[in-house]
Amino acid sequence: MIPVSEAIKIIERESFALPAETIDLENSIGRILAENIKADMDLPPFDRSQMDGFAVRSNDTKITPVRLKIIGESVAGKGFDQKMKSGEAVRIMTGARVPEGADAVQKIEVTKENDGFVEILEPAKLAQNINKFASEIEKGAKVFSKGEIISEQMIAAIASFGYAKLKVFQKPQVSIFSTGSEIVEIGEIPQKDQIRNSNSMMLKVLAENAGAQADILPQVHDDFETLKNHIAEAVGLKSQVPGPKSQVPKNQSKILIITGGVSVGDYDFTKPVLRALGAEIFFEKVSLKPGKPTVFARLGDVLIFGLPGNPVSVAVTFYLFVRRAILQTQSSTHCDLKRGFAVCSDKIKGAKERDSYLPVSLSTNKHGNLTIESLRFSGSSNFIAFARAEALVFIPQGKNLEKNETAEILFL
């Protein structure tokens, strides 16, 4: 049994790195930048008015009201090109260039205009209502770095610097299938002893949110030969061929996720099949609750995760391990879930011999603390409780979390 940190190191070591591709900005959410985003211009590109009003010399408005001669106007897209002198004002619109000679903008609400003159009713302070040239960013400065995940909040900034297209790392191909003779597809009516396959769909969505191109393969019954053929086909081995490693094609860097059949039951065939196919198994037991029997292996160029069948274990092990591998193949510099701290609103039991990462929901209390609400997590199969999860709370092996204790959390 290896600690979670060790499992993560192995995943980092074994993950492949995909090349970059150029895509349209509009399709870039969730992708990983393969180039630095640089400012190709100063912003603002000129001293810019924040208000509709009058550009003035602040010294002229020290004593108000004061009457100034309107010598022209500056509108967004067409500024006023003459130099403004003392005693003068230029009508100006939001977003327009502040003319040379002016050093403040007074908003229209405190002005009165008539007959080519404007009365400024309140003093304008130096630089008032002006966004200074290059105060947001200077030309050539780095805005975002290679390896960052593109979020929707970043789009306007990227667009501002002319990146209609941009370089991102290619999506890893992820194939997913579930094992279990009790499993039927979502659209089917489960018969006696059967349940629906919730894992495959969950994994497809999780994998795609991490930037992968994910496909669900048909599910497999608990049968050694069938599973062997299925895995062989999924990794691009000819079915039937029990594989010495050399026969595995080296051209398809991808990730295969299998759920179920990794424990020690009589019908748990994932590990024996991987061995029979000649897979290199990097780990098969992690000091983790839920998710102890997680398997990580490679067959040819295909990284294989064997996750336990329970949907909550699948989710937790995906977040801790598979997500990381998917992001790693895209050279992300943010492969970790965001970490933080929160206060337990109740006692939460850990496990004697394993670290726990339990799904919890979050709230805030009247002291302004982020609090952990246990999900009445009645076991690793409780995916209905899991539906409310917002974080995983970390409980070190052999410990419990007491009420009001501060604990480390990983945001989902």
**Residue 384 CB coordination number (10 Å):** 11
For 411, the 3-state DSSP assignment is strand
Distance CA 344, CA 406 (A): 6
196 strand-pairing partners: 184
Give, as ranges, the residues between 150 and 209 that touch Mg ion (CB under 5 A).
Answer: 180
Q: Is 261 in the site for ligand AMP (CB under 6 A)?
A: yes
Concatenating the DSSP letter of every residue in 99-156 gives PTT--EEEEGGGEEEETTEEEE-SPPPTTTTEE-TTSSB-TT-EEE-TTPBP-GGGHH
For 176, the 3-state DSSP assignment is strand
Identify which of residues 44 and 293 has a Cβ nearer to ligand AMP in the complex.
293
Give, as ranges, the residues between 78 and 107 that touch Mg ion (CB under 5 A).
Answer: none
Distance CA 248, CA 236 (A): 7
Structure tokens belonging to residue 329: 């193949």
Give the one residue of 42, 148, 182, 373 binding ligand AMP; rule: CB under 6 A.
182
What is the C-alpha end-to-end distance of the chain, expressed in Å? 26
- The residue number whose beta carbon is nearest to ligand AMP equals 309
Distance CA 142, CA 144 (A): 6
Q: From the list Mg ion, ligand AMP, none, which binds 1 (C-beta under 5 to 8 Å, kind-based)? A: none
DSSP state of 321: I
Q: Is 308 in the site for Mg ion (CB under 5 A)?
A: no
**CB-based contacts of 136, cutoff 8 Å, min separation 6:** 43, 44
Give, as ranges, the residues between 292 and 321 that touch ligand AMP (CB under 6 A).
Answer: 308-311
Name the segment binding ligand AMP (CB under 6 A); options: 131-139, 175-183, 231-239, 368-376: 175-183
Identify which of residues 314 and 344 has a Cβ nearer to ligand AMP in the complex.
314
Give, as ranges, the residues between 93 and 152 that touch ligand AMP (CB under 6 A).
Answer: none
**CB-based contacts of 370, cutoff 8 Å, min separation 6:** 340, 341, 342, 343, 362, 363, 364
Residues in the chain: 412
**Residue 328 CB coordination number (10 Å):** 22
Identify which of residues 34 and 315 has a Cβ nearer to ligand AMP in the complex.
315
**From residue 322 to residue 361, what is the string marking binding to ligand AMP with x (rule CB under 6 A)?**
----------------------------------------
Q: From the list Mg ion, ligand AMP, none, which binds 111 (C-beta under 5 to 8 Å, kind-based)? A: none
Q: From the list Mg ion, ligand AMP, none, which binds 183 (C-beta under 5 to 8 Å, kind-based)? A: ligand AMP
**From residue 373 to residue 392, what is the string marking binding to ligand AMP with x (rule CB under 6 A)?**
--------x-----------
Q: What are phi and psi of 103, to 5 degrees?
A: -135, 10
Q: From the list Mg ion, ligand AMP, none, which binds 178 (C-beta under 5 to 8 Å, kind-based)? A: ligand AMP
Q: Specify whether the CB–CB gap between 183 and 227 falls below 8 A.
A: no
Name the segment binding ligand AMP (CB under 6 A); options: 161-169, 174-182, 227-235, 298-306: 174-182
Q: Is 291 in the site for ligand AMP (CB under 6 A)?
A: no
**CB-based contacts of 124, cutoff 8 Å, min separation 6:** 56, 58, 61, 104, 105, 106
Q: Is 293 in the site for Mg ion (CB under 5 A)?
A: no
Identify which of residues 123 and 309 has a Cβ nearer to ligand AMP in the complex.
309
Give the one residue of 49, 61, 74, 197 binding ligand AMP; rule: CB under 6 A.
197
Dihedral (CA of 89, 94, 99, 101) sign: positive
Q: Is 37 in the site for ligand AMP (CB under 6 A)?
A: no
Give the one residue of 260, 290, 308, 350 binding Mg ion; rule: CB under 5 A.
260
Give the one residue of 99, 260, 300, 350 binding ligand AMP; rule: CB under 6 A.
260
CB of 267 to ligand AMP, least distance (A): 8
Residues that bind Mg ion (CB under 5 A): 180, 260-261, 309
Residues that bind ligand AMP (CB under 6 A): 178, 180, 182-183, 195, 197-199, 259-263, 265, 308-311, 381
